[in-house]
């Protein structure tokens, strides 16, 4: 079973040299810590920076330099600042090769719900709806089940949608799953996790091949 860092580490394997990548808040942010050797990528933050670097050293923080999570950050060599319209032109125009974000629910046809729980305070979708509607390559990073032990991989999302038919891959604490043809397809087991455990934790239609290799981290 993977912890949050493990999920991030597995997703980092999807990074290819030359990618521009947008990382959501939470587990996705951790992906930046596991960039494979020899792979150059640049991180975009939708509030207006390309070439986002690590958090600043204590005392170096600049109120005018933050990421989409409102955290103080630094800029890498070659970074660029731009306005919000240009930022979402990059996103909507599919210039960002990979988007990684968290989710509350994902459905077997790739729908995603991650912005609103009816009856609870609604904080808004921020840039999530633009990201999921536009990106060609979206990976969801999340726990396989919620705090009540219920599957987050469903036949249909029960929560209000963020986007329709957009998620291509999900990496959870239990498995790597691809979404095609209206079904979840099991690609890999997390270390020490059995296929039965994954089947039990997946509510939507799950296609299980004969051989399910264990993830290599």
Partner 1 sequence: MALNKVVANVEEACAGIQSGMTLMLGGFGLCGIPENSIAQLVKMGVNNLTCISNNAGVDDFGLGLLLQGRQIKKMISSYVGENDEFERQMLSGELEVDLIPQGSLAERCRAGGAGIPAFFTPAGYGTEVGEGKEVREFNGKPHILETALTADYAIVKAWKGDTAGNLIFKATARNFNPMMAMAGKITIAEVEELVPVGELDPNQIHTPGIFVQRIFQGERYEKRIEQRTVRPRA
Q: Which of positions 97-126 make contact with partner 1 (CB under 8 A)?
A: 111, 116, 121-126
Instruction: Record the tokens describing residue 83, joined without a space.
Output: 């306005």
Among 14, 34, 160, 212, binds partner 1 (CB under 8 A): 160
Q: How far apart are CA 183 and CA 177, in angstroms?
A: 10
Does 24 bind partner 1 (CB under 8 A)? Our answer is no
For partner 1, the closer CB: 111 or 188: 111
Strands 105-107 and 112-113 come out as antiparallel
Tell me if residue 42 is catalytic.
Answer: no
H or E element that contains 11: helix 4-12
Residues 178-197 that bind partner 1 (CB under 8 A): none
Q: Are 96 and 135 in contact (CB under 8 A)?
A: yes
Does 63 bind partner 1 (CB under 8 A)? Our answer is yes
CA 154 to chain CA mean position, Å: 17
The least CB distance from residue 24 to partner 1, in Å, is 12
Query: Of the residues 46, 61, 178, 188, which is catalytic?
Result: 46
State the DSSP code for 29.
Answer: H
Residues 36-55 that bind partner 1 (CB under 8 A): 40-42, 44-51, 54-55
């Amino acid at each position: 079973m993977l912890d949050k860092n493990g999920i991030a580490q597995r997703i980092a394997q999807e990074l290819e040299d030359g990618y521009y990548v947008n990382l959501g808040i939470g587990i996705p942010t951790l992906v930046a810590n596991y960039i494979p050797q020899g792979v150059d990528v640049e991180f975009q933050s939708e509030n207006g920076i390309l070439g986002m670097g690590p958090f600043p050293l204590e005392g170096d923080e600049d109120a005018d330099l933050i990421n989409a999570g409102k955290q103080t950050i630094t800029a890498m060599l070659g970074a660029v600042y731009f306005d919000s319209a240009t930022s979402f032109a990059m996103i909507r125009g599919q210039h960002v090769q990979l988007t990684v974000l968290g989710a509350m629910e994902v459905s077997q046809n790739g729908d995603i719900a991650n912005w609103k729980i009816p009856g609870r305070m609604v904080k808004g979708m921020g840039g999530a709806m633009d990201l999921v509607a536009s990106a060609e390559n979206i990976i969801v990073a999340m726990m396989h089940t919620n705090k009540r032990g219920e599957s987050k991989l469903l036949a249909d999302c029960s929560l209000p949608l963020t986007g329709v038919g957009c998620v291509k891959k999900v990496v959870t604490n239990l498995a790597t799953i691809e979404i095609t043809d209206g079904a979840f397809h099991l690609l890999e087991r997390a270390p020490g996790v059995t296929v039965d455990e994954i089947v039990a934790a997946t509510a939507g239609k799950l296609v299980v091949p004969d051989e399910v290799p264990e993830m290599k981290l």
